[in-house]
Amino acid sequence: MERDTHFILGVYDDEDVLLHAVEQVRGSGVKIHEVYSPYPVHGLEHVLGYKRSKLPIAAFLFGMLGLTLALTMQFYMMKFDWPMIIGGKDYGAFPDFVPVSFEMTVLLAAFGMVGVFLITSNLKPWAQPRIFDLRSTDDKHIMAIDLANNSSLDLDKIKEILTESGATEVNKKSFE
């Protein structure tokens, strides 16, 4: 990708300064590529204007799938395929099927949701992430600004906006 190879990085020490900085930088008309943090900063997704994750819906749908599969499997096996009287109960003894149905609902909801999370976030063992600054997994918050996306703005102007917003360092980073 030729376009997004040149970045300006704002380095922030503090999460609260970062939250204000994101608002300020976006307010000045600069488009932020992404913010990289060593830990989850609450409220960052709001100031960056990200939409709420749809993962809860995925979890619900996979959970429903698990419940359906579990009930279908148990009724098919116990009532239709090989009916047997066990403990004088009905073939389709629904109360007895509750524990397994619950467990399979949880199992599929958890695995389905995590699967969707890994795929949408592009997390896989052979992934080669672009690391803007090695300290972003240690103690610094890194705000990356894609120069190609902000071609209307002057380079020095962006640097000035970042410094004003409280960045302790402003660096340039280019990828091959």
Partner 1 sequence: MQVTSSVRQPLVTGGKTYHDVTHDVCRQVEGKPSKLWFLAFLTAFGVLAIGSTALLATLWEGIGMWGLNKTVGWAWDITNFVWWVGIGHAGTLISAVLLLFRQKWRTSINRAAEAMTIFAVICAAMFPIIHMGRPWLGAYWALPLPNTYGSLWVNFNSPLLWDVFAISTYFSVSLVFWYIGLIPDFATIRDRATGLRKIIYGALSLGWDGAAKTWMRYESVSLILAGLATPLVLSVHTIVSFDFATSVIPGWHTTIFPPYFVAGAIFSGFAMVLTLMIVTRKVYKLEDYITIGHIELMNIVIIITGSIVGIAYITEFFMAWYSGVEAEQYAFINRATGPYWWAYWSMMTCNVISPQLFWIKKIRTSIVATFALSIVVNIGMWFERFVIIVTSLHRDYLPSSWAMFYPTLVDVGVYLFTFGFFFTAFFLFAKFFPVINMAEVKSVLKSSSEKAHK
Kindly identify the residues of this chain, within the stretch 92-131, that bind partner 1 according to CB under 8 A: 93, 96-97, 99-100, 102-104, 106-107, 109-111, 113-114, 117-118, 120-131
Q: How far, in Å, are 48, 55, 74, 76, 175 from residue 117 at the CA level?
A: 20, 7, 30, 33, 27
Exactly one of 1, 3, 138, 151 binds partner 1 (CB under 8 A); that residue is 138
Q: Whole-number minimum distance, CB 34 to partner 1, in Å? A: 5
55 binds partner 1 (CB under 8 A): yes
3-class SS of residue 11 = strand
Could you tell me the two tokens for 87? 């403990």
Exactly one of 1, 2, 3, 82 binds partner 1 (CB under 8 A); that residue is 82
Cα(33)–Cα(142) distance, rounded to whole angstroms?
Answer: 11
Residue bearing tokens 């608002």:
23
38 binds partner 1 (CB under 8 A): yes
Nearest to 43 by CA among 17, 13, 25: 17
3-class SS of residue 12 = strand
Residues in touch with partner 1 (CB under 8 A): 14-16, 19, 34-41, 43-45, 48, 50, 53, 55-56, 59, 73-74, 77-78, 81-82, 86-87, 89, 93, 96-97, 99-100, 102-104, 106-107, 109-111, 113-114, 117-118, 120-131, 134-139
